[in-house]
Structure 1
Amino acid sequence: MFGTLSEETEVKVPASKAWALYGTLELAKVVTGKTVEAVDLVEGDGGIGTILKLTFKPGVGFAYYCEKFTKVDSENMIKETEVVEGGFLDIGFNLYRIRFEIKDKPNDETCSSCVIKTTIEYDVKEEFAANASIITADPIIGLMRVGNEHLLKSE
């Protein structure tokens, strides 16, 4: 069973500044201690193939998962990560992918605002289809709120 969820938020910073956070390892530093307990760099430098281990606060539902950067497109400001160990894979998911897309806000001639679109794509094995109900945009909304607050404070 395949599904998607998307959320968009506007941030009053240039797209290039938002990409400098969302398109790099910097986001992991900003959310550590806030939306996740810890983020450890397993391998890589922030490019394709980078693997991070996210350790969650108690009560989230997972102790941890590892995600791999599968796409880092600086020209189009798109980054994708996929869970490669733990978390959703332990409860019957074949795929759990998060995509960040950053674009200049349409009709903003000053380029002082951007839109961040986050998409979650998932595929769950049929025998675990009931687990698809745990997929919500709430964790991503929380992550984006922390990231966007950081962007606005550092303006």
Structure 2
Amino acid sequence: MVGKLSHEIEVNVPASEAWELYGTLRLGKLIVEEAFPGVIEKIEVIEGGGEAGTIVKIIPGTTGSKAYREKFTKVDNEKRLKELEVIEGAYLEMGFTFYRVSFEIVEKGNDSCIIKTTVEYDVKEEAAANASNVVSIEPFAKVAEAAKNHLLKNKTA
């Protein structure tokens, strides 16, 4: 079973400023400190510096979930597109064969952009019930909202 979810939010900052956050490892810090304090304890860089090929370990906090790893499979500074895939744990242990999140910063004007988040997944038929129980765009919408607030608060003149 293949699925796809997406979310968009407009932010009144230049696309370049939004990409400075989303296109780097700074997004992980925002997730831990502002979007999900306590829920995500730490995002540890295992390999790389934020470019394609970077591997991070997501360490949950109070949720009782197990740690898992993600790999940045694409970081395109020109298109302002970042893709990451779960490569160990989490969804892969629940019958998913593929789980990818894409972040794209779409320029809307000089001082405005859209943060577009897409989740794509493939799950084995026998585990299809897991998809409806665990796949949600809501955590990424919360990240985008936290990013929007952070960007507006720290907007350069």
**TM-score of the aligned structures, taking structure 1 as reference length:** 0.92
Give the secondary structure class of the aligned counterpart of 1:62: coil
What's the CA shift string for 1:13-72, capped at 9, x where partnerless?
Answer: 10000001001101011121442221100110100100011112333x732221000000
Across the aligned residues of Structure 1 and Structure 2, the Cα RMSD in angstroms comes to 1.2
Judge conservation of contact 1:56–1:63 (CA < 8 Å) in 2. Answer: yes
Q: Which moved more, 1:139-148 or 1:14-23?
A: 139-148
Partner of 1:116: 115
What's the CA shift string for 1:110-150, capped at 9, x where partnerless?
Answer: x1010011000000011101001121111111111222211
Judge conservation of contact 1:51–1:67 (CA < 8 Å) in 2. Answer: yes
**TM-score of the aligned structures, taking structure 2 as reference length:** 0.91
Alignment of 1:77 with 2:76, yes or no, is no
| Misfit runs of 4+, over 4 Å | none
Residue 103 of structure 1: CA displacement? 1.0
Sequence identity (%): 51
Judge conservation of contact 1:57–1:63 (CA < 8 Å) in 2. Answer: no
Structure 1 unaligned residues grouped into runs of 5+: none
Partner of 1:9: 9
Judge conservation of contact 1:93–1:123 (CA < 8 Å) in 2. Answer: yes
Structure 2 unaligned residues grouped into runs of 5+: none
Q: Which moved more, 1:31-40 or 1:64-73?
A: 31-40
Name the count of aligned residue pairs: 150
